[in-house]
Amino acid sequence: MKELEKNYNPAEIEGKIYQKWLDKKYFHAEPNPDKKPFTIVMPPPNITGQLHMGHALDNTMQDILIRYKRMQGYEALWQPGTDHAAIATEVKVIESLKKQGIDKEDLGRDGFLEKCWDWRKEYGGRIINQLHKMGSSADWDRERFTMDEGCSEAVQEVFIRLYEKGYIYKGSRIINWCPVCQTSISDAEVEHVDQDGFFWHINYPVAGEEGSFVEIATTRPETLLGDTAVAVNPEDERYTNLVGKMLELPLTGRTIPVIADSYVDKEFGTGCVKITPAHDPNDFEVGKRHNLPELTIMNDDATINLPGSRYDGMERYEARKAIVEDLKKLGLLVKVVPHTHAVGTHDRCKTTVEPMVKQQWFVRMEEMAKPAIEALKTGKLKFVPERFDKTYLHWLESIRDWCISRQLWWGHRIPAYYCDECGEIVVSKERPEKCPKCGCTHLTQDEDTLDTWFSSALWPFSTLGWPNETEDLKYFYPTDVLVTGYDIIFFWVIRMVFSGIEQTGELPFHTVLIHGLIRDSEGRKMSKSLGNGIDPLEVIDKYGADALRMTLITGNAPGNDMRFYWERVEASRNFANKVWNASRFMMMNIEKAPDSQAELSDLTMADKWILSKANTLAREVTDNLDKYELGIALQKVYDFIWEEFCDWYIEMVKPRLWNEEDTTKAAAIWTLKTVLINSLKLLHPYMPFLTEEIFCNLQDEEESIMVSAWPEYKEEWNFAEEEHAVETIKEAVRGIRNVRTSMNVPPSKKAKVYVVSENSEILDIFEHSRVFFAMLGYASEIVLKKDKEGIGEDAVSAVIHQAVIYMPFAELVDIEKEKERLKKEEERLSKELARVKGMLSNEKFVSKAPAAKLEEEKAKLEKYTQMMDQVKERIAQLGE
């Protein structure tokens, strides 16, 4: 056994311990027929990313589960990796090139991709190295990348399978277009942000009926140029006579029909809705139902595309101003009403998204959504907490076809080839030698790449070797738990579920553990714009990884947001110090008495009490972790170590450790060591570095706490009677301490303590606990009695269940000195009361003083009056 350093210094031990774990391959998992598998896949962080508090929480929760299962004897695999993050990485690389005066187009596709791979080499491992500092015990030997050879093969295989099944198609549909990133994006990547805007009310003249108009209201007047109809509700009697008539579309010289469609809400706006099928997803569906033309009136950069029009080439918001001005001149602008509404923005660059009809690749979602819905409804898939079932189902039940093509160079290129002669599309892993339709040998690959989430959706099985039937895939798949934030359910979770079922026939995991966001101390979301983000590495440098991990899990409930306070990190660090110091104290005493073997029959009441408590704790913590109640489990371990073990048991056994003649010393040391080791094991998933350092110095039988066995409940360690007995002693000690505190009696002042009870069992408890009860209760002598006879009338008391504790007043307090002290306090309070009353009776002060100052003085008057009453009462008691 080695001696621990005097002070716990995480900076000195964490790096050394982590390297030891890596060298020993403790994180590595292999198919093992003698063990049950337990698998978690790490949500792959972007290669553009840097560790933030969300990553820290997400990975801490995964690490807790994987360490727990590893100690339980499972072959535990935590599969790590990174994501190529197509849009984010391409934007970063373009920005980097611009600073060097290089244009993406000048490099060409191959040259640009080389730069992207260089970026990946330079920055791809940054966040992984940062996760090492967190103590993440992922199997880094298996680290994957969404564009590595294996994952790329899986992506091509899935694309081809879905295409051949008719689930992937190329078509002209409404998509979300980012004018800045110049690419389509999925619905999941559109963030709806409330913005202040307007409703522009515009009159559309009825063709052939002078002075007759239809009033519509729109938040986007510029899209008027692409209108192909105005719709009304078929049940709206106000407009029945209008259906079928033609309207003159202002500023265009075109006429458009009035159509009836139940999509229109009669109560909203004017009840007449302009229909622009090429620039609104709902209008697109209306247009399909009524065979309306789709007029795309914008270029990819969101400038107006209307040759011959004065608006042609104008930026969309510039065109908006011009159109509104022209409508005003024509007398067709009825009114402008302020209106706050949710505007779709690209979650990456925050640009307002422009819905457009474009030729893109899509995945048909209707059929694949059905088994994903069924999995939840039958209970095969569970969300923790259950309330996120609704988010999952709502998204799936209203899902649209998924636009999977992106106008980017970085990513998985779509494996589709076009015949230069006849236009035939051939989907294939390799470039075809000739067109199967016309025999032409000139085929060109599609320029687009796949949505990043297309490859991420395959992560649970592509990382294990799919589409090949590998041993890893057979053993570790399906995985067990997915840990992720609620903000990514529809981005990723849903796509993994339907992809897993479709490609492997099985769910990719049985449980989705959802966590909330980490907010700042004011409850605000951490962001660059607010400047309120906190770097986890800064916290680690200052307090250590264990303190950060503990802070992130303390009070954490699944699905709930939590606030970050530096004070909590300090409290976590203080707990680490408490555990360290208690361990040092214990180890120094073990050194003095190394032979500390003991039988259960040798244990004292106090030993059995703490052993029984630790035994129950192991059962409860196991139960909590199995239910994913990580915060509750941690709180129980914290309370046990700090209060029961450190504050009570260690204090109870000190007299035995310091008494060379005590025959129960070996039992005390055995109990201390046993309970500490089990406590460290229960704490290990949360604070891996601290527990490893203490464990490896405390014992020599095992080389790491990481691979030691998880504590299990033992019936022979259940000592209910001893638990009841010691809890009775604790109740008495608390009563004594409360009385002494109220009387300002210092701990150094000892007093006789009488325990009075008619219950002989209660007296027996105190009889068998005399030594430590006397020490904890600051007693000079313990007297056990069945009645109060012989105890002076001046004795103060504390009542506990079935007993009363008495202490002679004179032994607690030097009466003359106490009288003297109270007289001085009475004089001080008299002066304070006179001063406050004088101020509050001074009309000049009361009329001019700020309200806060007046309230402060009134509060002082109330406080000093109360204190004076207490002092006078105490003086009267002493006089008696």
Q: Which residues are annotated as a binding site for ATP?
A: 528
Q: At what angle do helices 665-683 and 688-698 cross, to 10 degrees?
A: 150
Which H helix or E strand runs over 175?
A: strand 168-178
Measuring CA to CA, which residue among 144, 91, 152 is closest to residue 119? 91
**DSSP category for residue 351:** P
Whether the CB-CB separation of 641 and 649 falls below 8 Å is answered with no
Q: Record the tokens describing residue 98, joined without a space.
A: 């611009």
Nearest to 823, CA basis, from 872, 767, 758:
872
582 closest CA partner among 507, 644, 495: 644
Distance separating alpha carbons of residues 214 and 181, to the nearest angstrom: 38
Q: Cα(536)–Cα(538) distance, rounded to whole angstroms?
A: 5
Tell me if 421 sits within 8 A of 440, measured CB to CB.
yes
DSSP class of residue 715?
G
**Cα angle 417, 418, 423; round to 5:** 155
- The answer to whether 788 and 756 are in contact (CB under 8 A) is yes
Which element (helix H / strand E) includes 613? helix 605-626
* 261, β-bridge pairs: none
Q: Using CA atoms, how far apart are residues 714 and 691, in angstroms rounded to an integer?
A: 23
Could you write out the three-class secondary structure of 382-427? Answer: EEECHHHHHHHHHHHHCCCCEECEECCCCCCECCEEEECCCCCEEE
- Asked if residue 138 lies in contact with residue 442, where contact means CB atoms within 8 angstroms, the answer is no
What's the gap between Cα 681 and its chain centre?
A: 24
Q: How many helices and strands (H and E) does the chain possess? A: 29, 29
Report the C-alpha gap between 179 and 356 in whole angstroms. 11
841 is written with which tokens? 């009776």
77 and 476 Cβ atoms separated by less than 8 Å? yes
d(CA 273, CA 247): 13
Q: Please provide the DSSP assignment of 27-65 as one string.
A: T-----TTS-EEEEEPPPPBTT----HHHHHHHHHHHHH
String of b and e for 383-395 (b: at least 16 CB within 10 Å)? bbeeebeebbeeb
> Cis before residue 467, ω within 30 degrees of 0?
yes
**HEC readout, 465-482:** CCCCCCHHHHHHCCCCEE
**Terminal-residue alpha carbon distance, the chain:** 60
**Token pair of 279, please?**
């620039």
